[in-house]
Chain A
Amino acid sequence: MRWLPAFLTASLAFAGGSLAAKKTSEERFNSFHAKSIASSSAAPIKLSDPSYRELTSQPRDYTAAVVLTAMDSRFNCQLCREFQPEWDLLARSWVKGDKAGESRVLFGTLDFADGREIFMSLGLQTAPVLLLFPPTVGPHAVANPEPLRYDFSNGPQIAEVVHTWIARHLPDRPHPPLTASYVAWPYILPIIQSRNIWAALTLISILLFTSGHMYNHIRKVPYVASDGKGGISYFASGFQSQYGLETQIVAALYGLLSLAGISLAIKVPRIRDAKTQGVAVLAWGGIFYFTYAFLLSVFRGKNPGYPFRLPPFV
């Protein structure tokens, strides 16, 4: 059952390949590309002897990445089995991410069973082999038309690594990212997988907890209290008590300090303009300093014996 679509693809590819033997490079790319985006399981294209030759024939204005593999259980090729799903995933997510074909890359798989002649002609003794055929004509053309060979000597390879390898050899072209979206959650997944969102959530919860939110929750402290003179007392007196608003102020101070710290550690060194960078250093450094100084003075209010202070808030 599982093999049926693959079989069909293979035969289709075979038929297509024989028919379009004399096509131009542009036509060849279009036909193969159309085939690979036809259905989600069509990429990488299942190749056979003729279609392989067609795909890799020169001149070509596209890149072809082909894996030569031996999936038949007779050959007991563990590495082939392990790599195949990775390769499928890579090809599919690339094709899906680049439906217009802007990257001009085609992915194919040639099984030993379908392409014995090719294996012979290449003199291959081992499998799998990943060949990357660079374009010979067009904007991305390279001087050496010989295919690049991916090194499998490090054991099983995961899609990410191969993706990086391919991307490295395809400069100046879009590189559709690897998506693990075999579960159909195209909208939720980016959110779930967004580091920024997770980082924000983590930092917010840490700030909440370290500013005494749990104390408020358990002790049910008042939000603010009167200072007895008609005004509002923002900070509870005493080391072991606090108000709701007070913790929010403290959390905000901590947040500001952390933000300044993050900016100084990550953002500022990435500013390319020297002048802007200088201003940023001054601004964030100043914010850090004054907030810290203010925090120290607030803390001294809570703990009168505390001896340390920074100038503006003495």
Chain B
Amino acid sequence: MLRSSPLLSLFAFLLCWGAALVSAVSTTGNRLLAILDDVGEKENYSKFLGDLESRGFQITYETPKSESLALFHLGERAYDHVIFFPTKTKGLGPNLTPQILVNFLNAKGNILQTLSSSTTTPNSLVSLLAELDITLPTERTGLVVDHFSYDTLSAPETHDVLALPPPVPVRNDISPLFSAGAPKDALLAFPHGVGAVLGPREQLTPILRAPNTAYSYNPKEQSEVLDASDLFAAGQQLSLVTAFQAINSARLVLLGSAEMLQDKWFLAEVATPNGGKPVKTFNREFAKRVSAWAFQELGVLRVNWIEHHLNEVTAVNESNPHIYRVKNDTYTISLSEYAYDKWSAFSLPANDVLQLEFSMLSPFHRLPLSLDKSQSTPEASVYTVSFKLPDQHGIFNFKVDYKRPFFTNIEEKTTVSVRHMAHDEWPRSFVISGAWPWIAGLGATVTGWVVFVALWMYSAPPTDKKNKVGSKKTN
């Protein structure tokens, strides 16, 4: 590779900056690929696609059989996001094998996959989902029905259009991304959808679960009677809309009903069997949020900066030193959250905490980080904690491991060395009161020796005059 000249890199920078200005949409890019059986089908989804385009995505439409279709070009991703609309073909061809799709996820590409009960899901996608521990009904198709919460307007007989309230989070420490701000009586229409069963993998989170009374069956084979042992799944085990976020934060959303995104369901009104009056579906907003989440517009967290320093008055307060001594320390992390078009300060969900681990092999400290209002700005919130380093030298990691459903995985590891006390950093002996007897002993010995030597040198040998025989030879 040629070395780029400064001018060239400046130019490149400007170009990127300009591009970023134009498409301030997704945090990862705006190249969106839509896979359809027939490009003409896109008219059914014109509002949804129009919404996407208005948010800055550049949509390319391809059919699975297209020769030019390639997710990767020269080893780099050619698209940032992919939408799969239901296709009738069984296979998706050599350009969309499950391996390529997994590689696409590994390369931080995002996928929004839609299903429909009227078409069988392509092999390739089923295999992909199987890798992610998402199981579709056998025969790769199924229909979710619910005899208690169907739309009385469009499916009074078949009960295959579900009318559901916007989803509430499955746990109370999860941010209610998809239901926040919805009107109280809002209803989602889930027409002719397929439910999936999720494995226990932590990367998986159901966005929309089927109601307790829903179940899935195969209208072709099980139209008359559904044996209990043949039941695919029922109730809350059926996930209608599923979120998957890989370790590298690449996202995949499995939308059980493609029809949800169609214009007609954006505009339709639905009513529940228990006598509610018909309301306009919440589908358009829901589709916006789901696609925004899938394409990294929602729930995206960013670590702006990390700073740690010695928290001692006398010390040189160097920022982010490589090495510490066994003593005090402060760690600060700054986080921002992205929503559609701007970064804002990230605020933790009500029941959640952000934790810092100080670990070597195992954590020596696990401390909650608290919000530091003085450093926070509208764009970024700053969390901080001060603590005393353990009395153990070694190579430690400041580790923030914040992985929550619907939020970008944050796993920040900052390695520092903690060294032992240097030979001149211990308190001097005269400071330690316990050493005073020894110091006194030392002084006494030295003085005694000097006195002895002085006496010895200046005392003449005894002269005993009457000792006539002995003394001469003695000394």
Q: Which of B424-475 contact A (CB under 8 A)?
A: 464, 467-475
Q: 1/0 contact trace for A151-193 toward B, CB 8 Å?
A: 0100000000000000000000000000000000000000000
Closest Cβ of chain B to A156, distance in Å, is: 10
Residues of B within 8 A of A74 (CB): 467, 470
Residue of B with least CB distance to A152: B473
In the assembled complex, A13 has its CB within 8 A of some CB on chain B: no
Q: A residues bordering B, Cβ < 8 Å? A: 70, 74-80, 112, 119, 124-127, 152
Question: Contact at A70–B470, with CB atoms within 8 Å?
Answer: yes
Question: Contact at A76–B473, with CB atoms within 8 Å?
Answer: no
Residues of B within 8 A of A125 (CB): 468-469, 472
Question: Contact at A127–B473, with CB atoms within 8 Å?
Answer: yes
Residues of A within 8 A of B475 (CB): 78
Closest Cβ of chain B to A84, distance in Å, is: 13
Residues of B within 8 A of A79 (CB): 473-474
Closest Cβ of chain A to B468, distance in Å, is: 7
Q: 1/0 contact trace for B390-429 toward A, CB 8 Å?
A: 0000000000000000000000000000000000000000
Question: Contact at B473–A75, with CB atoms within 8 Å?
Answer: no
Residues of B within 8 A of A127 (CB): 469-470, 473
Which A-B residue pairs are the 10 nearest by beta carbons? A75-B470, A77-B470, A78-B474, A76-B470, A70-B469, A127-B469, A79-B473, A126-B473, A75-B469, A70-B470
A75–B469 Cα distance when bound, in Å, is 7
Residues of B within 8 A of A76 (CB): 464, 467, 470-471, 474
Closest Cβ of chain A to B340, distance in Å, is: 75
Residue of A with least CB distance to B475: A78
Closest Cβ of chain A to B130, distance in Å, is: 58
- Residue pairs across A and B with Cβ atoms less than 8 A apart, 25 shown, are A74-B470, A75-B467, A75-B469, A75-B471, A76-B471, A76-B474, A77-B469, A77-B470, A77-B474, A78-B470, A78-B473, A78-B475, A79-B474, A80-B470, A124-B469, A125-B468, A125-B469, A125-B472, A126-B469, A126-B472, A126-B473, A127-B469, A127-B470, A127-B473, A152-B473
Residues of A within 8 A of B472 (CB): 125-126
A75–B168 Cα distance when bound, in Å, is 115
Closest Cβ of chain A to B274, distance in Å, is: 89
Residues of A within 8 A of B464 (CB): 76
A124–B468 Cα distance when bound, in Å, is 10
Residues of B within 8 A of A70 (CB): 469-470
A125–B472 Cα distance when bound, in Å, is 9
Closest Cβ of chain A to B60, distance in Å, is: 72
A contact face: mostly helix, strand, loop, or mixed = loop
Interface size on B, residues (CB 8 A): 10
Closest Cβ of chain A to B474, distance in Å, is: 4
Closest Cβ of chain B to A86, distance in Å, is: 15
Closest Cβ of chain B to A144, distance in Å, is: 26
A226–B13 Cα distance when bound, in Å, is 82
Residue of B with least CB distance to A78: B474
Q: B residues bordering A, Cβ < 8 Å? A: 464, 467-475
Residue of B with least CB distance to A155: B473
Closest Cβ of chain A to B465, distance in Å, is: 12
Residues of A within 8 A of B473 (CB): 77-79, 126-127, 152
A74–B469 Cα distance when bound, in Å, is 10
Closest Cβ of chain A to B467, distance in Å, is: 6
Residues of A within 8 A of B467 (CB): 74-76
A119–B475 Cα distance when bound, in Å, is 22
A75–B474 Cα distance when bound, in Å, is 10
A47–B473 Cα distance when bound, in Å, is 23
A152–B474 Cα distance when bound, in Å, is 11
10 more A-B residue pairs beyond the given contacts A76-B467, A79-B473, A125-B469, with a C-beta to C-beta distance below 8 A: A74-B467, A75-B471, A76-B464, A76-B470, A77-B469, A77-B470, A77-B471, A80-B470, A112-B469, A119-B469
Closest Cβ of chain A to B469, distance in Å, is: 5
Closest Cβ of chain A to B464, distance in Å, is: 7
Residue of B with least CB distance to A119: B469
Closest Cβ of chain B to A272, distance in Å, is: 46
Closest Cβ of chain B to A151, distance in Å, is: 12
Residues of B within 8 A of A112 (CB): 469
A70–B474 Cα distance when bound, in Å, is 12
Closest Cβ of chain B to A179, distance in Å, is: 29
Residue of B with least CB distance to A73: B470
Residue of A with least CB distance to B474: A78
Residues of B within 8 A of A78 (CB): 470, 473-475
Name the residue in A75, A124, A125 with the highest tally of chain B Cβ atoms < 10 Å from its Cβ.
Answer: A75
Residues of A within 8 A of B470 (CB): 70, 74-78, 80, 127
Residue of B with least CB distance to A77: B470
Name the residue in B464, B472, B474 with the highest tally of chain A Cβ atoms < 10 Å from its Cβ.
Answer: B474
Closest Cβ of chain B to A110, distance in Å, is: 13
A264–B190 Cα distance when bound, in Å, is 113
Residues of A within 8 A of B468 (CB): 125
Residue of B with least CB distance to A153: B473
Residues of B within 8 A of A80 (CB): 470
Closest Cβ of chain B to A112, distance in Å, is: 6
Closest Cβ of chain A to B466, distance in Å, is: 8
Closest Cβ of chain A to B324, distance in Å, is: 47
A76–B464 Cα distance when bound, in Å, is 9
A115–B250 Cα distance when bound, in Å, is 118
A246–B62 Cα distance when bound, in Å, is 86
Residue of A with least CB distance to B471: A76
Closest Cβ of chain A to B51, distance in Å, is: 80
A79–B470 Cα distance when bound, in Å, is 8
Residues of B within 8 A of A119 (CB): 469
A77–B470 Cα distance when bound, in Å, is 4
A247–B470 Cα distance when bound, in Å, is 65
Closest Cβ of chain B to A232, distance in Å, is: 57
Residues of B within 8 A of A152 (CB): 473
Closest Cβ of chain B to A82, distance in Å, is: 10
Residue of B with least CB distance to A71: B470
Closest Cβ of chain B to A125, distance in Å, is: 7
A54–B173 Cα distance when bound, in Å, is 123
